[in-house]
Amino acid sequence: MASSTAKTDKSVFFFGGGQAEGDPKRRDLLGGKGAGLAEMTALGLPVPPGFTISTEVCNAFSRDKRMPDDVRAAVEAAVARLEKTMNARLGDTAAPLLVSVRSGGRASMPGMMDTILNLGLSDTVAEGLARISNPRFAYDAYRRFIAMHASIALGLSKEPFDHALDEVRGRVAESKGIDRTLLNAEELKRRVPDADLPAEELRALIPVFKAIVKKETGRDFPAEPREQLWQAIEAVFASWNNHRAIVYRKMHDIPDAWGTACNVQAMVFGNLGDTSATGVAFTRDPSTGEKLLYGEWLPNAQGEDVVAGIRTPMPIRSQGSGGARAEESLEARMPEAYRELDRIATTLEKHFRDMQDLEFTIQGGKLYMLQCRGAKRAARAAVRVAVDMVREGLISKEEAVLRVDPAGIDQLLHPTLDPHAPKKVLARGLSASPGAASGHIVFNADEAERRAGQGKPVILVRVETSPEDIHGMKAARGILTARGGMTSHAAVVARGMGKPCVAGVSAVAVNYQSQTMTVTVYDDAGRPTENITLKKGDIITIDGGTGHLYEGAVPTVSAALSGEFGELMTWADAARTMKVRANADTPLDARTARAFGAEGIGLCRTEHMFFEEERIQAVREMILADDVAGRSTALAKLLPFQREDFVGIFREMRGLPVTIRLLDPPLHEFLPTEARQLDELSKSMGVPVQKLAQRTKDLHEFNPMLGHRGVRLAITFPEIYAMQVRAILEAAALVVADGIQVHPEIMIPLAITRAELERTRTLASEIAAELSASGKTTTYSFGTMIELPRAAILAGELATVAEFFSFGTNDLTQATMGLSRDDAGKFLPAYVDSGILPRDPFVSIDQEGVGALVKMAAERGRKARPGIKLGVCGEHGGDPASIQFFFGVGLDYVSCSPFRVPIARLAAAQAALRSRGQNGGQGTA
C-alpha cells in the first residue's frame, strides 16, 4: 500500500536502462503496474523501457475532460527519451518504435480497463517494419493495432473488424479444401487460427479495416503516431469510468477517486516466430499455495492471447504437468528462458516478501518482464503461503496474520463435497477456484442475476467469461467454463470473489442458442461412453477444488480446521485482545462453535427452542390461555424442554460464558397462518377455530418489530420470563452438580428503560432465591441488549442495573436508520449501487450513525459501571470491517455465527496488530 498520498508536481515517470524515476512505493501515483515496472527496472531485471503517466493526471482528466497542458510537454520529453534509449523513433520507417499503452490502477482490476498494443504503426511504418522483421508479422501487428485502437480509442464496435477477418479466414479455409459453410465462426477460428493467415491476406485486410474506420467515424484512421498516442492515453484514462470498471470497483471497495495510471512502454514481441513466446506465471501455485513456479505460456503469441482463452495455453513447468503437457512446457521447450524466469521469480519474491504474479514475453529467445504484482490467490493458497513464508524466514507471524483476508477464509470454512455421497462425475476441467457448489444451470450473466435474485442457486455456464459477465459471476454460486486456463478471466475473477470455478472443461459443448450443454462422458481409459445433454435449469454440482463436474446436487460436509490454517489461527489468537463468541441456540451449534474456536456463546436465542414439534404445542397453549393459571400450566410443560437444552449447551461450553436471551419475538410468530393449519390446531387443542382466529387477530400488529416483543412481553406476561429463568438456573445447578463450571448470563432484549430492567432483575433474583432455598445455588449475571436508540442514549441509566451490554446491532441499525430488516431489500441495493450508502448497513456497521450510538453507549455504560462487560451479537459481529470498528470502540467481544468465528478471530487479531502499528509487511507490489 502507498506509503504516502502527497501531491506531487511530476506527472510522468520514466523507467529504463536500470533506472526508474518513480518511487515504487508510490502505488497511489504510479498504479500497481507502473510501480512494479519501476521496481523491476531498478532491480536490474530485463524490462522494456517506457514511462508512467500518474493517476493524478487521470483524475484531472476525469474532472476537466481534457489533458492538463504541462502533461503534454512531459509526455513529449519522455517519448524523446524513450526513442533515444531504444534507438528507434515513433513513425520512423527505418527504425520504428512501437509502444503499448496500458492502464494500471493502484489495486489490480484484471481485464477491467483498456490496453492498446503495437501503437505507432501506419502504412509506411508497417512497410518499414516488414522489411526489418518479416511481412507477415508486420501486417498482423498492424491489423491488430487498427482494430484495437478503433475499438478502444475511437469507440467503434469490434464486430465489423471481426467480420472482415472471418471473411479472410473463410477464404483461407476454402483454399485448404475446408467447407466453411458447415462451420460457425468459433469452429472456423479453430480450424483456421490467426497463425494460418498468410501475409498477403493480412496486408489486404489493412485497407478494409481503414475503410471501416472511415465509414464509422467519417475520418481517416490516424496515420500520425503522435495523434494515435494521445488518443490512446486519453482512452486509457477514460476507461477508468467504463461500466465494468465501475461495477468491479464497487464489488471490491476500490474508491473511484484513486484513478488509473497509464503506462507507455516499448513493445517487445512474443509473436516474432518460434523462438518468441508470451506467458504469465505465479511464483507459487495460486490455488494451493505450493512453492513452485506456476503458469502458462504460448509460443509465437501476443500477451492477450494467454488470458483471452482463445488458444489453450501450455504449462510452464514440466513437473506435475502430465505426459504430453510436460513436453509442451516452457521448461522443456525453452530451458534457458525458463531458468531465467525461475531466477527472476525467486529474486522478486525475496524482494517483495510476497507471492508475485508475473507477465513476461520472450522475443527471439530473450526474456522480458512486463509486469509483476502481488498475486491474487485462493484463500487456501493465501493461508499456506503466509505460513510457509514464516517458516522460510521471509515474514513474521504477525505479518502472516495480516496477509490473509478474513473475509476470504470463508471459502475454507464452507462445506466441501461429502466424499462418501454417491455422485456421478460427468467431466473434469481445471480446478480454477476452490469450493463446491450446486445449482441450476444458466447460460448468461443477466439470467444468473435474475434467478439468483429470486433466491435460486445457479451455476453460470459459459464457453468463457469476459468482464461483461461480472455481475452474473457475482450472483452465481459457481462458474463453469468450457475453455480457458488457470489464468483465464473466469479463473482469476472467481478466485478473487472466492467462488468455486471449474474452467476449461473441454468435454462440455455449450450451445447458447438452444440453451443447452452437451457433455461427452469418458471412461477411465479415455474412451467416450455417452453424450449427456443438460438444459437451462437442470441441476449440476461443481467442485472447484478438484475440477470435477457432477450430475445433480451432491451433498456437502463441513470444512476441516487443521494444518496450516490451524497454525495461522494460533498466531492470530496470540495477537488478538478481543474475545470471539458465537451465536448458538442448540447443543450442536455450541459444539460447532467450540470447534471453530468460540470462547463463549454471545447470543442464545431461546425462541429457536420453541419451534420443535413437541414444544410448539405448549407454546401455543400458552398463547391461547385466557389467564395466568392457564399460561402457567402451559409454561410448565415447556420448562423441562428448555432446561434440557440449557443443560446440553452448558455441558458443551464447559465453563465458558453463555449469554441467554429471554424470549424476544412477538407471539403471533408462533401461531399458524394458513386456514388448514388453523383447522388442525383447533382440532388438536380442542379450541374452536373462531377463537383461534380471534386470538390471531388480537395479536396482529402493523409494525411487529416495534410491537409487543422483547422485554415488553415480560411486562405483560412475567410468567414467561419466570419459566425461562427457572429453566436456566435449574439447568446450571444440574450441570454444576456434575462438577462442570457454568457461567450463565441472563439477557433482556429490547429494553429502553431502567425500570424494565429493575422489574426483570427482581423477577430473576426472586427465582434464584427460591432455588437457593432448596439447595440449588448457582451464580449468574444479569444484563441487557442495546437494540434501540433510547437504550444507547440512556446506557448510563441502564448500566446501573445491567452488568453487561450486548449490542443487538441488527435491531439497532433498523431502529436508528428507520430501515426495516425485512423489507429494506426492495430499495437498499439501489442506495448501495448509487453510492448513497457505502455498504449494506445490515452487513457492515454504519460507523458514523449506528456506530456512533454504540460508541456513546459503551462510554456511558462504562462511566456508570466501570468494568461493565461489552459485546456485540448482531450480524456485524462476523464482519471484518465492523470488527475493526468494535475493536476501536473497546468492546470486550464480538459474537457471530459459528462458521464465521474463525473470520472474526482473524479480523480481531488484525485489528489489534494494526493498532500496534503493524501492517502486512508486503513490498510495494
Tell me which residues are annotated as active site: 489, 873
Segment near Mg ion (CB under 5 A), from 296-304, 464-472, 485-493, 807-815? 807-815
Nearer to ligand PEP, 787 or 846 (CB): 787
Applying CB under 6 A, does 536 fall inside the site for ligand PEP? no
Q: Give the nearest distance from C-beta 856 to ligand PEP in angstroms.
A: 17
- Quote the least distance from Cβ 649 to ligand PEP, whole Å: 17
Q: Which of 809, 847, 897, 910 binds ligand PEP (CB under 6 A)?
A: 809
Retrieve residue 620's grid coordinates: 401455543
- Region of 333-341, 465-473, 671-679, 803-811 interacting with ligand PEP (CB under 6 A): 803-811
Q: Is 808 in the site for ligand PEP (CB under 6 A)?
A: yes
Rg (CA), the chain: 32
One character per residue 753-792, x = contact with ligand PEP (rule: CB under 6 A): ----------------------------------x-----
**Residue 874 Cβ, how far from ligand PEP at the closest point, in Å?**
3
- DSSP letter, residue 667: G
Residue of the chain from 62, 632, 810, 918 that contacts ligand PEP (CB under 6 A): 810
Residue 856 to residue 850: CA distance in whole angstroms = 10
Q: Which of residues 37-96 bind Mg ion (CB under 5 A)?
A: none
Residues 669-688 that bind Mg ion (CB under 5 A): none
Q: Which does 603 bind (CB under 5 to 8 A by kind): ligand PEP, Mg ion, none?
A: ligand PEP
Distances (CA, A) of 718 to 140, 622, 721, 803: 84, 12, 6, 21
436-442: strand order across its sheet: 425-428, 548-551, 539-543, 436-442, 458-462, 478-481, 501-503, 430-433
| Residue whose CB is less far from Mg ion, 398 or 811 | 811
Residue pair 547/378 in contact by the 8 Å Cβ criterion: no
Contacts with 348 (C-beta within 8 Å, 6 or more apart), sequence order = 40, 43, 45, 283, 356, 358, 372, 925
* 3 state SS for 826-859: HCHHHHHHCCCCCCCCCCCCCCCCHHHHHHHHHH
Binding-site partner at residue 604 among Mg ion, ligand PEP, none, CB < 5 to 8 Å by type: none
Identify the H or E element spanning 153: none
- Find the binder of ligand PEP among 45, 369, 459, 873 (CB under 6 A): 873
Yes or no: say if 746 and 728 are a contact pair by the CB < 8 Å rule. Answer: yes
**Between 372 and 590, whose beta carbon lies closer to ligand PEP?**
590
Burial pattern 512-551, b for ≥16 Cβ within 10 A else e, equals eeebbbebebbeeeeeeeeebebebeebbbbbbbbbbbbb
CA angle (691, 697, 698) in 5-degree steps: 90
Residue 435 · residue 500 · CB < 8 Å: yes
Shortest CB 721 distance to ligand PEP, Å: 16
CB closer to ligand PEP out of 303 and 874: 874
Reading the block at residue 281, the C-alpha cell is: 506465471
CB of residue 727 vs ligand PEP: minimum separation in angstroms?
Answer: 19
Find the helix or strand (DSSP H, E) in which 279 lies. strand 277-282
- 157: Cβ contacts below 8 Å, ≥ 6 apart: 151
Cβ contact 41:19 at 8 Å? yes
Residue 205, binding choice from Mg ion, ligand PEP, none, Cβ under 5 to 8 Å by partner class:
none
Q: Using the rule CB under 6 A, which residue among 811, 846, 879, 892 binds ligand PEP?
A: 811
Q: Give the residue from 119, 206, 107, 195 showing the smallest Cα distance to 154.
A: 119
How many other β-carbons are positioned within 10 Å of the β-carbon of residue 41? 25
Question: Of 96 and 665, which CB lies nearer to ligand PEP in the complex structure?
Answer: 665
Show the cell assigned to 756.
424494565
811 lies in the binding site for Mg ion (CB under 5 A): yes
Task: Tell me which stretch binds ligand PEP (CB under 6 A): 64-72, 228-236, 679-687, 804-812.
Answer: 804-812
Cα→Cα distances 774→556, 636, 724, 761, Å: 49, 19, 18, 20
Size of the site for Mg ion (CB under 5 A): 3
The runs of H, that is alpha helices, within 261-371 are 304-308, 323-328, 330-333, 335-352
Region binding ligand PEP by CB under 6 A among candidate stretches 360-368, 528-536, 624-632, 807-815: 807-815
- What is the full DSSP assignment across 113-128? S-EEEEET--HHHHHH
Report, in Å, the least distance between residue 809 CB and ligand PEP. 5
Sheet with 314-315: list strands edge to edge. 314-315, 294-299, 277-282, 356-363, 366-374
**How many residues in the chain?**
925
Residue 828, interface with ligand PEP (CB under 6 A)?
A: no
Per CB under 6 A, 591 contacts ligand PEP? no
**Is the sign of the CA dihedral 503, 508, 512, 514 positive or negative?**
negative
Measured distance CA(321)–CA(442) in Å, rounded: 32
- 426 versus 578: smaller Cβ distance to ligand PEP: 578
Nearer to ligand PEP by Cβ, of 239 and 809: the residue is 809
Cα(477)–Cα(436) distance, rounded to whole angstroms?
9
Judged by CB under 6 A, the chain residues 646 through 675 that form the site for ligand PEP are: 664
CA 829 – CA 801 distance, rounded (Å): 40
Contact pick of 370, 603, 795, 891 for ligand PEP (by CB under 6 A): 603
Per the listing, cell 470486550 goes with 892
Choose between 545 and 874: whose C-beta lies nearer to ligand PEP: 874
Q: Of 31, 259, 808, 920, which one interacts with Mg ion (CB under 5 A)? A: 808
Which residue number, 57 or 649, has a Cβ lying nearer to ligand PEP? 649
Q: Which stretch binds Mg ion (CB under 5 A): 325-333, 344-352, 696-704, 783-791?
A: 783-791
**Which positions from 605 through 634 interact with ligand PEP, judged by CB under 6 A?**
605
Question: End-to-end distance of the chain based on CA atoms, in angstroms?
Answer: 8
Q: Which is nearer to ligand PEP, 472 or 808 (CB)?
A: 808
Q: 300 or 809, CB closer to ligand PEP?
A: 809
Total number of residues binding ligand PEP (CB under 6 A)? 10
Stretch that binds ligand PEP, among 257-265, 517-525, 808-816, 900-908 (CB under 6 A): 808-816
Q: Which of 874, 878, 880, 923 binds ligand PEP (CB under 6 A)?
A: 874
439 near Mg ion, judged by CB under 5 A: no
- Written as one letter, the residue type at 378 is A
356-363/277-282 β-pairing:
antiparallel
**Among the residue ranges 91-99, 385-393, 800-808, 828-836, the one whose residues contact Mg ion (CB under 5 A):** 800-808
- The one of Mg ion, ligand PEP, none whose footprint includes residue 536, by CB under 5 to 8 A per kind, is none
- Name the site residues for Mg ion (rule: CB under 5 A): 787, 808, 811
Binding site for ligand PEP (CB under 6 A): 603, 605, 664, 787, 808-811, 873-874
